[in-house]
Amino acid sequence: MGVFAPGTPGLYKAMNEKCSNGNGDDDDDIVDDIAADQQAEYRIRASKWVASSLVRVQDHMFWYILSASYKARAPIRHLFHILSKYSLQRNIDHAKASPIPVSELPVVDLATKRLDQLDTEFKEILQSVSSWSNELIDDLQWMVELTGKPIHVEREMLHSISTQLVLHNWAGFRRRVVNMFSGYLVCIAAMWDWMI
């Protein structure tokens, strides 16, 4: 039995025919006809999607933005690596059942040392946008040779796209991670003052 989306014209047509015939015995035939129509429509949509995807993958801009996005997210990947290392360290420390000093707690290390390090990585990537962006453009020459189509986009525009990608990722990092830990450190400092 098919699943009907609201507004499916085949469903309304079949139901109207059923009501006008007054014959309720062929419910399964109506459902099978509608399901066959939906399957044919799905095949057409899927083939259009595949053809469109293949065209997009042959575009220079697709590969440039994919590579630039990967480069712009390097500090975020580094953060995930740090967090996974902390998780592994926590499991080992928990297995030993020995208390660790506060200065070695992963959250303290992340908030006091690592966030500044990741922020510096974003600054370095932003300052070197033109150099790594030019390298990415030069790396796309294989695509030019393969397709025979030259890159019709100016380097300045590609530099601008790369800069926007880095700034977008940096802003997300500051909003989601740095601001959260800044508030966390204020709470810890307030608790520390209260305990003394």
Mean of the pLDDT values across residues 97-110? Answer: 69
Taking 50 as the threshold, does the pLDDT of residue 115 lie above it? yes
Give the separation between CA 178 and CA 175, rounded to whole angstroms: 6
Reported as a single tens digit per residue, the pLDDT across 15-66 is 555 555 555 555 566 667 777 777 878 788 878 887 888 777 777 888 889 9
Residue 50 has a pLDDT of 79
Reported as a single tens digit per residue, the pLDDT across 127-158 is 999 999 999 888 887 777 777 777 777 889 99
Residue 2 has a pLDDT of 43
* pTM, 2 dp: 0.62
Q: Measuring CA to CA, which residue among 75, 71, 89, 54 is closest to residue 174?
A: 75
Residue 4 has a pLDDT of 44
